Structure 1
Amino acid sequence: MSIETRNPASPDSVVAVYTETRTTDIDALVIKAQSAQRQWSAIPQPERGRLIDQYLNALEARGEDIARIITLEMGKTLTESRGEVAKSIAEGRMVQQRAAAAIGELLPSQVPGVTAYSMRRPRGVVVGINPWNFPFGTPVRKSIPALVYGNAILLKPASQTPGAVQLMADIAADLLPEGLVQAVIGSGSMGESLCGHPGVHAVTFTGSVAVGKRVAAAAVSHLAEVSLELGGKNPVILNDASRLDVALDQIFTAAFALCGQRCTAISRVIVHRDLLKQTVDGLVSRATDIIPSDGTVEGARMGPLSSRSQLDDVDAFVSRAREAGATVAAGGQRLELVQGGYFYPPTVLSGVTPDMEIAREEVFGPVLSVLSFDTLDQALQIANDVAYGLTSCLYSEQAPVIERFLSESESGMLHVNAGSFPENHVPFVGIKDSALGVGGSNGPSTIQFYTTEHAVYRKGQA
């Protein structure tokens, strides 16, 4: 069977056709990965690092091809796709540099003549389940640390955006042991079958909470290690700002980059009542200045949503918010542009209250809700009173306010006077319904996911 991808800016345009992996092929894929992993882990880490550098260089050399397939299949602008490629390669190099650091520690022993220490080994075969919104960035985040620490990886892309992962696997086949990096293309059920295979030792998943729970259940059925990176309902508390325009620029970009289809996108502005009107007016003026267009057009500032279902979901969220009493201050209805693309404008909702669905559930689209507060207690209560805990932001120049935010905001990533964009070398982590397990992407804790820990007691003679 085959999978056909289409351009969300022009749904009648077929982008590519891929051969779908059959469920009956999974055993062979895992066996191939196991063989490659044994060969790979026997190579000293510095030499593995040299080969990974070559792999990253080869990916970078194909950067424009990767960016173009991202835009054609997912819809984000070429500028955003090129940025995704550049950031991903930089993250991979950061991980590679970190792998040269010391691993394990020497410990005092209770027994004379015994040296006690810890060491780490590769887990084995890793499965990486990837989302459609970062079809290159997320697979790189999963594959490079897996390879650095001596594992093989099976990469399952979203069925609507397999192109980047297929290119990654093709390039790896020319440079790395056969079967070390493999693409598994198919439906979500294919991913669950893969995660449930007893020859898989670790599963790293990025996507929705509902699917993540199913993936975790499949992996835990044979006690594979699990790392889940899930959704968010990310707030920014706008308490005070001497340069409000600068703050609004950063908030707007953090909300509407990639058409709001980032798990770290700001979706709630919780603003002090004294700044409410200025904030709404400022966000509206920025929103009305952007008209979505085909992402392949150079200079496009916002592309389409990724699919018809995504467009329908976002439109329904806004309709229900309006019915619940929110005011559509900007945007708020799908755009009828040429070629039937899935376009939705930057949308600002005012008059939102904390109990509304739009203030509590992840929309994953270009929709920003504005809520107001009178006291910091209220602001923190509103920010924390959701199921998610991925990222949060604060704008304030008052030290006591900042300290309370850092102590009380229920998020894995905390940004003060900056938008919600993660850096290449810093842990990407969430709490509550936004994550499970040690982070499986970038940051120092990745070694805990991609390796197993061992205690050694060594004596010279019996």
Structure 2
Amino acid sequence: MSVEIRNPANPSEVVASFPTITPDDVPAMMATARTAQQAWAKIPQPERGRIVNNFLDGLEARREDIATAITREMGKIIGESRGEVNKALGEGRATTCRASAAIGEVLPSQRPDTVSYSTRRPRGVIVGINPWNFPFSTPIRKTIPALLYGNAMVLKPSISTPGAAFLMQEVADATLPEGLFQIAYGSGSLGSALTSADGVDAISFTGSVEIGRIVAQAAAANLAEISLELGGKNPVIVNDASDLEAVLNQIYAAAFAVCGQRCTAISRVLVRRELEAAVVEGLASRAKAAQIGDGLDAGTTIGPLMGEKARDDVAGFVERSLAAGAHAAAGGTTIEQNGGYFYAPTILSNVTPDMEVARDEVFGPVLAVIPYDTPDEALAICNDVEFGLSACLYSEQTPLVDRFIAEAESGMIHVNCGSFPEDHTPFVGVKNSSLGVGGSNGNSTLHFYTQEHMVYRKAQA
């Protein structure tokens, strides 16, 4: 069986077709992964780093093919797709730089002539479940550390955007030991089979809170290590700025990149009331100037939403918000163009903190502006949601900056910059945005992909 993938900017266009597997294929796949992993784990880690860098070299040679596949399958503009590929490769290189880094520590022993030290070993077989919005960078974020630290990876791409993963498989077949990296492409039942399969040592999932809870239950049944990267409802507080136009440029980019379809997108602007009118006007003018169209067209600045349901969900959020008293300073409408799933970038003013659009993840090109009067009020609104992925503050007041860093209930905290994580840093969330260790880079990644062992060795006479 195969699945046809259509262009969300023009759904009549079939861009590719990919073969699927079924849950019945999972046991053999896991056995293959286990055999490959056992041999791979015996290779010294620095040498594994060299081989993984060869894998990245192969992917870099295919980066334009990967970027084009991303745009044709999920609609983001080609510049953003190229940016995704380049950033993912940068994260991968940053990970392989840790190939010779220390992974344990020597501890003083309580006994004479004894050395006590910790070390770490590979976990084994990792299952990676990936979303449709970053079909290359999220798989890379899971796969490269998994391989570097001696594991095998079984990767399930989204049913909607598998092209980048299949290109990864082509490169893996040419650069990695057989069976070490495998693509498992199929429906939701396949995901259930993978996460509950015998022999799974760890599961890395990126997606919705609802599905994340199901994955966590499956992991618990096998006592598998788990890392969940879930949703966000990310705020930016605009308290003061010597250059408001520059601030608005950063906010707009952080809100509307990938048509707002990223978990770290800014979706709430909490603005000091004296600045509210200027902020609404500035963001609205930027939204109205957007060029909406096919992501491969050179002039396009915002592409389509992922599909009809995604567009209808966004439209429903906006309609309910307007009915509750919000005002569309820009956008608020679907865009008819080649039958594509377009929605105008939308700036909502007159939003109150209790409205649905101020609390729930929209996952689309919608930005809610909420005024506040005091820093206490701003921080209360900032934290009063179920998510805690990313939060931003624009202010030149040191006491407020220090308080924001200490009190913002977010895994990633940005001061006077947009919500874009860097290549070499951990990607972390709190509250309902995450469970388990963070992804990307840092010690938390090492801890997820390896197990700690404690050694006590007495000297021999």
Q: TM-score normalised to the size of structure 1?
A: 0.99
Question: What's the counterpart of residue 291 of structure 2?
Answer: 291
Equivalent residue, structure 2, for 1:6: 6
- Mapped to 2, the partners of 1:67 and 1:113 lie a distance apart of 58
Give 3-state SS (helix, strand or coil) of 2:279's partner. Answer: helix
**In the TM superposition, what is the alpha-carbon distance from 1:39 to its structure 2 partner?**
1.1
Contact 1:411–1:430 (CA under 8 A) maintained in structure 2: yes
Q: Distance in 2 between matches of 1:333 and 1:199?
A: 49
Whether contact under 8 Å (1:440, 1:450) holds in the other structure is no
Residues of 1 paired with 2:93 and 2:217: CA distance?
33
* Within-5 A mapping of 1:107-146: 107-146=107-146
**Which residue of structure 2 lines up, in the alignment, with residue 158 of structure 1?**
158
Q: Secondary structure at the match of 2:427?
A: coil
Displacement of 1:188:
2.0
Q: Secondary structure at 2:269's aligned position in 1?
A: strand
Aligned twin of 2:77: 77
Distance in 1, Cα, partners of 2:47 & 2:393: 44
Q: Which residue of 1 aligns with 2:427?
A: 428
User: How far apart, CA to CA, are the structure 1 residues paired with 2:409 and 2:195?
Assistant: 30
Of residues 296-305 and 55-64 in structure 1, the stretch that sits farther from structure 2 once superposed is 296-305
Letter in 1 for 2:86: A
Shift of 1:99: 2.6
Residue in structure 1 matched with residue 243 of structure 2 by the alignment: 243
Query: 2-side partners of 1:389 and 1:120: how far apart?
Result: 30
1:310-331 Cα offsets, whole Å, 9 max, x none, are: 0010000000001111001100
Aligned-pair CA distance for 1:439: 1.2
Q: Is the CA contact 2:426–2:439 (under 8 Å) kept in the aligned structure 1?
A: no
Residue deviations 1:106-143 (CA, integer Å, cap 9, x gap): 00111111100000000000001000000000000000
CA-CA distance at 1:101 after TM superposition: 0.9
Which deviates the most, 57-66 or 92-101?
92-101
Deviation digits for residues 252-311 of structure 1 (CA, Å, limit 9, x no counterpart): 100000100010000000000010000000001100000311001124211100111100
Q: Which runs of 5+ in 2 are unaligned?
A: none
Separation in 2, partners of 1:84, 1:443: 20
- Structure 1 residue aligned with 2:352: 353
Q: Structure 1: which amino acid aligns with 2:165?
A: V
For 1:427 and 1:212, the matched residues in 2 are separated by: 20
Checking the alignment, whether the CA contact within 8 Å between 1:11 and 1:341 is kept in structure 2 is yes
1:322-360 deviations in whole A, cap 9, x for unaligned?
A: 1111001100010011x2000111100000000000000
- What CA distance in whole angstroms lies between the structure 2 residues aligned with 1:461 and 1:24? 52
What's the counterpart of residue 339 of structure 2? 340
Q: Which amino acid aligns with 1:445?
A: S
Secondary structure in structure 2 of the residue aligned to 1:250: helix
Q: Distance in 2 between matches of 1:286 and 1:5?
A: 32
Are 2:276 and 1:282 equivalent residues in the alignment?
Answer: no
SS of match in other structure, 2:46: helix
Which residue of structure 2 aligns with residue 226 of structure 1? 226
Partner of 1:217: 217
Distance 1:444 1:118 in 2: 15
1:46, distance to aligned residue in structure 2 (A): 1.5
CA–CA distance in structure 2, aligned partners of residues 105 and 442 of structure 1: 20
Superposition pairs of residues 260-279 of structure 1, within 5 angstroms: 260-279=260-279
Question: 1:135-154 CA deviation, whole Å, 9 max, x = no partner?
Answer: 00000000000000000000
- Matching residue of 1:44: 44
Are 1:20 and 1:186, in contact at CA under 8 Å, matched by a contact in 2?
yes
SS at match of 2:453: strand
* Counterpart for residue 33 of structure 1: 33
2-structure distance, mates of 1:291, 1:323: 28
2: distance between equivalents of 1:132 and 1:443? Answer: 25
For residues 305 and 292 of structure 2, the distance between their equivalents in structure 1, rounded to whole angstroms, comes to 10
> How many angstroms apart in 1 are the aligned matches of 2:100 and 2:284?
48
Q: Which secondary structure state, in structure 1, belongs to the residue aligned with residue 317 of structure 2?
A: helix
Residue 403 of structure 1: aligned partner: 402
SS in 1 for 2:146: helix
Secondary structure at the counterpart of residue 221 of structure 1: helix
Please give the per-residue CA displacement for 1:49-106, whole angstroms capped at 9, x wherever unaligned.
1111111000000000000000000100110000100010010000000232111000
The answer to whether structure 1 residue 252 and structure 2 residue 228 are counterparts is no
* RMSD of aligned Cα (Å): 0.8
Give the 3-state SS of the residue equivalent to 2:335 in structure 1.
coil
> What is the distance in 2 between the residues matched to 1:2 and 1:372?
50
Q: Unaligned stretches of 5+ in structure 1? A: none
Tell me the CA shift for residue 30 of structure 1: 0.2
Contact 1:200 1:224 in 2 (8 A): yes
Shift of 1:459: 1.4
Between the aligned partners of 1:272 and 1:295, the Cα distance in structure 2 is 35
Contact 2:424 2:440 in 1 (8 A): no
Partner of 2:325: 325
Alignment of 1:384-403 (within 5 A): 384-403=383-402
Partner SS, residue 178 of structure 1: coil
What's the secondary structure of 1:340's corresponding residue? coil
Once residues 39 and 174 of structure 2 are traced to their aligned partners in structure 1, the CA distance between those partners, rounded to angstroms, is: 16
Alpha-carbon distance between aligned partners in 2 of 1:115 and 1:254, rounded to the nearest angstrom: 51
Partner of 1:90: 90
Can you list the C-alpha shifts for 1:336-394, whole angstroms capped at 9, x where unaligned?
11x20001111000000000000000000000000000000000011100000000000
Q: C-alpha separation between the residues in 2 aligned to 1:364 and 1:398? A: 32
> In structure 2, how many angstroms separate the alpha carbons of the residues matched to 1:188 and 1:408?
38
Alpha-carbon shift at residue 47 of structure 1 (Å): 1.3
Structure 1 Cα separation of the partners of residues 270 and 250 of structure 2: 15
Secondary structure of the structure 1 residue equivalent to 2:313: helix
Secondary structure, aligned partner of 2:334: coil
Q: Distance in 2 between matches of 1:291 and 1:351?
A: 26
Partner Cα distance (1:139, 1:115) in 2: 39
Contact 1:287–1:347 under 8 Å retained in 2: yes
Contact in 2 for aligned 1:126/1:146 (Cα 8 Å): yes
Query: Take 1:307 and 1:236, find their aligned partners in 2: how far apart are those partners?
Result: 28
Q: CA deviation at 1:442?
A: 2.4
Matches of 1:112 and 1:29 in 2, distance apart?
48
Task: Name 1:382's counterpart in structure 2.
Answer: 381
State the distance in 1 between where 2:4 and 2:459 align: 62
Paired position in structure 2 for 1:315: 315
1:18-52 superposed Cα distances (whole Å, 9 cap, x missing partner): 11111100000000000110111111112111111
